[in-house]
């Protein structure tokens, strides 16, 4: 992931931001100027419309494409008026669908290549050898530079990797101070073993860190506030991101915000170093118990 920015801008909710063409272009340029140069998409986001909105915003300034990395995903088929033939939401990792999805994404994004393509969700009907061969085909054509997965278990990652002639670059998983599963299910262990960096979606738990009224949210928020008081001039969202960024597996958080000030604030988290005791105070709050 060395060519990607450590903070990644996610566009899952782009349609909800209600930006016009110029506002979106300005937001993208502000991100790039700040050093947030990696942009996370999926073919299905916004009922298959978010890639189009992004592509329309950047197409008149082609030079900006050279300064960014575009990530997108495929394999989920939504029930949508845009694809009336789909009657049931399902996954499709066939060669035919992956190639069609990539070609559609290239067209919508007004680009000749995708920097990183992810399989969006594990497909229980996946033919790993077929997916690997399709990835090789896309790499050889220059349409996709690198490949990874999203939401895969350790065994699912190992299965696909075993068929590849080149390494998978990442596994994008849900991870936040309120969702510790990758620490417990072997996902981060595997990433360290292979020397790859995972990406984290919903790193601020969809805002639950700040507004949640359940016991876990309250405990974790209190722990973040305590560290923020110790490290004057910081905010709890920065501490939460620093908690993720400080993990030795080298996580790349994906932020799903259209507010530039939140992006700017997130970048400041890159400079925050937590002590092991501070890091564990958040872990303990999330677990609801101390270490054995």
- Please say whether the beta carbons of 77 and 83 come within 8 A: yes
**Among candidate residues 271, 276, 274, the one with its CA nearest the CA of residue 291:** 276
User: CA 165, CA 163: separation in Å to the nearest integer?
Assistant: 7
Question: What does the pLDDT look like over 214-268, one tens digit per residue?
Answer: 999 999 999 999 999 999 999 999 999 999 999 999 999 999 999 999 999 999 9
Which residues lie across from 52 on neighbouring strands?
Answer: none
| Cα dihedral across residues 25, 31, 32, 38: positive or negative | negative
Average pLDDT over residues 269-279: 98
Question: What does the pLDDT look like over 88-130, one tens digit per residue?
Answer: 999 999 999 999 999 999 999 999 999 999 999 999 999 999 9
User: CA 249, CA 3: separation in Å to the nearest integer?
Assistant: 17
45, 48, 83, 252: the catalytic one is: 45
pLDDT over 90 (residue 62): no
Longest C-alpha distance within the chain, in Å? 58
pLDDT over 90 (residue 287): yes
Number of residues that make up the chain: 292
62 or 209, which is more confident?
209
Question: What does the pLDDT look like over 179-220, one tens digit per residue?
Answer: 999 999 999 999 999 999 999 999 999 999 999 999 999 999
Average pLDDT over residues 29-39: 98
pLDDT over 90 (residue 141): yes
pLDDT over 90 (residue 60): no
Q: Is 83 a catalytic residue?
A: no
Domains and CATH numbers, the chain: 8-169 (3.20.20.100)
Kindly give the residue spans of alpha helices, DSSP state H, lying in 212-290: 215-230, 236-245, 260-268, 276-287
């Amino acid at each position: 992931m060395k060519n990607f920015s450590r903070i990644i801008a996610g566009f899952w909710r782009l349609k909800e931001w209600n930006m016009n063409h110029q506002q979106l272009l300005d937001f993208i340029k502000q991100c790039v100027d700040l050093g947030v140069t990696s942009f996370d998409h999926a073919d299905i986001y916004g009922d298959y419309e978010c890639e189009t909105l992004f592509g329309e915003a950047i197409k008149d300034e082609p030079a900006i494409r050279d300064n960014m990395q575009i990530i997108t995903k495929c394999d989920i088929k939504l029930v949508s008026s845009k694809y009336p033939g789909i009657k049931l939401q399902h996954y499709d990792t066939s060669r035919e669908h992956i190639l069609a999805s990539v070609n559609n994404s290239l067209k919508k994004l007004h680009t000749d290549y995708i920097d990183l393509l992810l399989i969006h969700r594990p497909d229980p009907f996946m033919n790993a050898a077929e997916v690997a061969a399709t990835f090789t085909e896309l790499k050889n054509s220059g349409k996709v530079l690198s490949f990874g997965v999203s939401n895969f278990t350790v065994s699912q990652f190992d299965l696909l990797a075993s068929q590849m002639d080149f390494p998978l670059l990442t596994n994008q998983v849900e991870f936040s101070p309120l969702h510790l599963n990758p620490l417990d299910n072997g996902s981060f262990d595997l990433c360290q073993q292979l020397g790859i960096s995972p990406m984290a979606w919903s790193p601020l738990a969809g805002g639950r860190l700040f507004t949640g009224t359940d016991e876990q949210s309250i405990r974790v928020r209190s722990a973040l506030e305590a560290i923020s008081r110790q490290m004057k001039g910081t905010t709890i969202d920065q501490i939460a991101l620093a908690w993720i960024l400080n993990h030795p597996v080298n996580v790349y958080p994906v932020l799903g915000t259209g507010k530039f000030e939140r992006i700017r604030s997130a970048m400041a988290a890159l400079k925050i170093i937590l002590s092991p005791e501070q890091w564990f105070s958040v872990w303990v709050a999330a677990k609801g118990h101390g270490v054995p």
